[in-house]
């Protein structure tokens, strides 16, 4: 239930507040970051559930073609969840990498839809000005968001920094 509320709140934030930011500012995709971060912490199935809820919320509130957001988030969540399942437990660096890879893949699918629907675009410009900056900004947002989500995923960890302590070198915490 908390995941559904979080996705709905993120979708409202993204379609209202973040849409009014100047075009020169980076526009992180908050719903995608939540979906891919959740998939990188809990695995593919939980990530796919989050993608379905977040994608439907964005499809209802956003201006993209219906179903496009769900499809791109499902694909990215599957990739992020698969990366997570290759490890015994979540690691911060791999979780951030999973968010970046999921964001890159989802934006690439959206670009392919744009190209297939008759939109004119230069792939080089799209990658350098759209897909790569979006994936990088989502990765930066995930660095701040992952420790908080990890606390929720573990059912309220006693130590808020426990996820960071387990994933960063021990000498930093002595």
What is the domain extent for residue 126?
A: 28-173
For every residue of 25-73, DSSP letters joined together read S----HHHHHHHHHHHHH-HHHHHHHHHHHHHHHHHHSSSPTTHHHHHH
The neighbour count for residue 31, using CB atoms within 10 Å, is: 29
- Report pLDDT for 70: 93
In degrees, rounded to 5, the angle at the alpha carbon of residue 87 between the alpha carbons of residues 84 and 92 is 65
Task: Give the CATH number for residue 65.
Answer: 1.10.1760
pTM: 0.81
Residue for token digits 């190209």? 115
Is residue 48 assigned to a domain?
yes
- Residue pLDDT, tens place only, 4-15: 888 899 899 888
Is residue 14 assigned to a domain?
no
Please count the structural domains in the chain: 1
């Amino acid at each position: 239930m908390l995941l559904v509320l979080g996705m709905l709140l993120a979708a409202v934030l993204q379609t209202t507040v973040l849409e009014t930011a100047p075009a020169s500012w980076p526009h992180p995709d908050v719903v995608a970051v939540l979906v891919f971060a959740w998939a990188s912490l809990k695995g593919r199935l939980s990530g796919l559930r989050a993608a379905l809820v977040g994608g439907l919320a964005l499809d209802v509130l956003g201006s993209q073609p219906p179903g496009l957001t769900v499809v791109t988030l499902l694909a990215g969540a599957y990739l992020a969840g698969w990366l997570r399942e290759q490890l015994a437990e979540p690691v911060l660096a791999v979780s951030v990498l999973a968010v970046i890879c999921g964001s890159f893949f989802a934006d690439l699918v959206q670009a392919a839809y744009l190209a297939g629907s008759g939109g004119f675009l230069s792939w080089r410009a799209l990658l350098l000005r759209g897909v790569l900056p979006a994936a990088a900004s989502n990765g930066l947002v995930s660095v701040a968001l992952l420790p908080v989500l990890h606390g929720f995923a573990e059912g309220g960890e006693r130590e808020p920094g426990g996820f960071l302590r387990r994933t960063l070198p021990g000498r930093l915490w002595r």
